[in-house]
Amino acid sequence: MTYKNATLAGMNIPSRDLRNNTATVLKRVQAGEEIVVTVRGNPVAQLISPRLSGKRPLTSSEFVEIIQKYQADSGLRKDLEYLENETSDEILIR
């Protein structure tokens, strides 16, 4: 199956092709490809691997750990401190 509407993010396939090539489509999804099923050119469903859809929100402790690990550089920190009490009307480009 090759489609001219395939993109880096995945591909669109007509529902008829899903019906006729179910095993092939599911193998591609299992391999990590995202596939949008269309009816008359309109998207109606998205097929994605369960391991890709298992995203969950971060807990507060995970968020804090990430923020502490990837601190902003000192130049940005100085710029933010400089701008802290200013409104957008008062910001001057240095």
In this model, does residue 14 exceed pLDDT 50? yes
Claim: this prediction has a pTM higher than 0.75 = no
b/e 57-78 (16+ beta carbons within 10 angstroms → b) = eeeeeeeeeeeeeeeeeeeeee
What burial class does residue 25 get, using C-beta atoms within 10 Å of its C-beta: 0-12 exposed, 13-18 middle, 19+ buried? Answer: buried
Topology adopted by domain 11-53: YefM-like fold (3.40.1620)
Q: Phi, psi (5° rounding) for residue 75?
A: -65, -45
- 34-77 confidence digits (pLDDT tens): 899 999 999 999 998 877 656 667 788 888 888 888 776 778 77
Domain residue ranges of the chain, discontinuous segments joined by +: 11-53
**Are residues 38 and 57 in contact, defined by beta-carbon separation less than 8 angstroms?**
no
Of the pLDDT bands very low, low, confident and very high (cuts 50, 70, 90), residue 18 is: very high
